[in-house]
Chains A and B, each alone.
Chain A
């Protein structure tokens, strides 16, 4: 993760979560302004493992990570929105 936050990329395009048995795969897609192709980085996440947030480097990860948390139950360490619902907050009450 630390290598990822140091790499050259202009924009975080998306974070995709895949279910891999009991575990998960997180795919980060980045774009460069001078390159027509995307950069994809996949990390394996074990069930219950916490993933370090990339918000300090890419602010727009906030809602991408929150969405993954909401639908897959993964926790992102350092994401201030983790634990609050993105969709239909009143359902929880």
Chain B
């Protein structure tokens, strides 16, 4: 049969972020999938080099617009031990609370996008309506609906008081029943089941071989969650029950994320119970991290987020960010082989890619020769 190339993107209504998919199709069957990246590249790693640790936090957390807190948390997990800082339990609890709110927000946003890909616009609006409640909680707790910027090296900018915690609890209580209803719809709705059940299967062996992370791996039965396997912050006190599934398809990934929302609400409830609303947080400590290397790993909404930070004289010598989408990237060509072209949007959405998050990497050489400095990067930005 005649083979032709079907291009999708980089700008396309079905894509929430720019990626160029080149599908080699025979009839309506995809025989090979290639992709091209780089449209959302901002050079975060390069910009960070040579910066002081404190102001650098602002750059790092802007790597992603959905999991900004997780990026700052991974960065702090790398930096704070090198700086010799001890973190009070209230700070740890507040950090966990914001991280779990971010997971709920990310999964609700994803669910809306997934419904949009299936043509279910009403459900898209329902999921995003629930997400608005979480954004309101962010607004109340941190002052920022998307970029929270609440972390500081060694502490946090705000101490959550009783009114903040009551507001968060009420908002979560208001959505929990509706989230359970939506989960039932994800599980049983005829259109959702027919569009996602048995589609985009990733066997447990494939997930292990490819080193997949996050809900994508857990929906294939891989029992790995950084919060459980390498507990950090207040996860040492609050136990997390990882959501595992065995169906391995796009449907399983949907249900895994829906169940993670409910699990996150339980974690936040426990954190609220443990937070002393009258306790004040310590002021921003003064520190000098002379030299060292720090590693930070956190369980971001999409999976393990890894930061490598090399420090010299309180400044960043090198930072490397390995986002969950980069870890899951290798499954795309495999999962899109021999599928019907109409299933491609659903399969891609089921993996919940965050392209902007992934394309943070440093531009050192464009193949052979050119090295970009911070100044050149900012100049390039001016010419955009």
Majority SS of interface residues in chain A?
mixed
Q: What's the Cα separation between A76 and B228 when bound, in Å?
A: 34
B363 touches A71 (CB 8 A): yes
Contact with A along B209-248 (1 / 0, CB 8 A): 1111000000000011000011100000000000000000
Which residues on B sit within 8 Å (CB–CB) of A71? 361-365
Q: Is B345 an interface residue (CB 8 A)?
A: no
B308 touches A27 (CB 8 A): yes
B295 touches A85 (CB 8 A): no
Q: What's the Cα separation between A24 and B229 when bound, in Å?
A: 32
Which residues on B sit within 8 Å (CB–CB) of A70? 365, 367
Residues of A54-93 at the interface with B, using a CB-CB cut-off of 8 Å, are: 58-60, 62-64, 67, 70-73, 85-92
Closest to B45 in A: A71
B37 touches A14 (CB 8 A): no
B308 touches A63 (CB 8 A): no
CB distance from B294 to the nearest CB of A (A): 12
CB distance from B297 to the nearest CB of A (A): 8
Which A residues contact B (CB, under 8 angstroms)?
A: 10-14, 16, 18-19, 27, 29, 31, 33, 36-38, 40, 58-60, 62-64, 67, 70-73, 85-92
Q: Is B197 an interface residue (CB 8 A)?
A: no
Q: What's the Cα separation between A78 and B211 when bound, in Å?
A: 19
Q: What's the Cα separation between A13 and B104 when bound, in Å?
A: 25
Residues of B340-378 at the interface with A, using a CB-CB cut-off of 8 Å, are: 359, 361-368
Which residues on A sit within 8 Å (CB–CB) of B182? none
**Which of B224, B308, B310 counts the most chain A CB atoms within 10 A?**
B308
Q: Is B9 an interface residue (CB 8 A)?
A: no
Q: Is B135 an interface residue (CB 8 A)?
A: no
Could you jot down 21 A-B contacts, CB within 8 Å?
A11-B211, A12-B211, A13-B211, A13-B297, A13-B304, A13-B322, A14-B320, A14-B322, A16-B308, A16-B318, A27-B308, A38-B297, A58-B211, A59-B211, A63-B326, A71-B365, A86-B37, A87-B38, A88-B37, A88-B38, A89-B36
Q: Is B329 an interface residue (CB 8 A)?
A: yes
Out of A14, A16, A33, A88, which one reaches B229, CB within 8 Å? Answer: A33
